[in-house]
Amino acid sequence: MSFHQKPVTFVSQVNLKVQNLERSLAFYQEVIGLKVYEQTERTAKLTAEAKTVLLSLEQPANAVRKPGRTTGLYHFALLLPDRIELAKILKHLVQVGYPLQGASDHLVSEALYLGDPDGNGIEIYTDRPASEWEWNGDQVVMATQALDAEGLLALGNDETWNGLPAGTVMGHIHLHVSELADTEKFYTKGLGFKVVSRYGPQALFISSGKYHHHIGLNTWNGAGAPQPPANSAGLESYTLVFPDQESVKATIGRLKDIGASVTEEMGAFVTADPSGNRIKLVTE
């Protein structure tokens, strides 16, 4: 998992707002296989190995379902340590009858897609070895092809699923944004990521350390899409981990140079992209 540790800058945690915490906890434990790390009446932190928080849930007062055609989360992506773990969770999802929204081979990875009870998108995937990824200059070759689901199920036929394994990390996040020009400037000149793939005029993928992508950005909900209400289910924020305090300090300077706002909340620096997606800037 060298793409999710220093000196790479990576997404470590996604923070969601949900309409019903009890319902969401049942889903994330029984269907996805996360474990409760910490819980209060209206919040919960979830982990795969009782050490690193991958997902936090919060039930706001008067929570409502997220309106369609707004900015925010497209999906967050849980990266499994190997292909056998993807086989095991696919077998589990088939056994419990939970519907998939998609299953794809992206050349660099193999992925399953589904939604939580609030409609938040989830990808569960495993990477192919980086040595097998194809690059055209500084652009990684990705595609969307049919997943070999039968082959995966055969691989996991004799395996028992016991939840998400140790070594599971937050692989990437994919966001709905309202436009791409200022967004690209924010993420590259401000946060310091590199564009590694463009999907026409409506999506781009960025990363640190030549990963296939740590962040995806798209305008598929429409150019000029508005932000959802503050009390709606969906993305509250996500956390970016930088290698050290000097990297955070330099990033804050670049963000201010391009006119982005940076504030401090409970010991963490917080900014927001041009579409209002909130980002916490931390070190390990």
Q: Categorise residue 249: left if φ over 0, alpha if ψ from -120 to 50, beta otherwise.
A: alpha
Query: Helices in the chain by DSSP H: which ranges?
Result: 21-27, 83-96, 149-155, 181-185, 245-257
The CA dihedral of 102, 226, 196, 272, to the nearest 10 degrees, is: -120
Residue-level pLDDT at 1: 53
- pLDDT tens digits, 139-164: 999 999 999 999 999 998 888 999 99
Among 50-54, 129-133, 167-171, the range scoring the smallest mean pLDDT is 50-54
Domain count, the chain: 1
The pLDDT > 90 percentage for the chain reads 95
Q: What confidence tier does 2 reach under pLDDT thresholds 50, 70, 90?
A: confident
Q: Which CATH number do you get for residue 104?
A: 3.10.180.10
In the predicted structure, residue 57 carries a pLDDT above the cut 90: yes
HSE-up of residue 226 (Cα within 13 Å, Cβ side): 6
For residue 215, give its domain range.
Answer: 2-283
- Distance in angstroms (rounded) separating the CA atoms of residues 115 and 101: 7
- pLDDT tens digits, 75-120: 999 999 999 999 999 999 999 999 999 999 999 999 999 999 999 9
- pLDDT tens digits, 245-265: 999 999 999 999 999 999 999
Beta strand 102-105 with 145-146 is antiparallel
Closest CA to 86 of 166, 155, 172: 155
Q: Note if the pTM is more than 0.95.
A: yes
- Distance in angstroms (rounded) separating the CA atoms of residues 179 and 224: 6
3-class state of residue 213 by DSSP: coil
Residue-level pLDDT at 16: 98
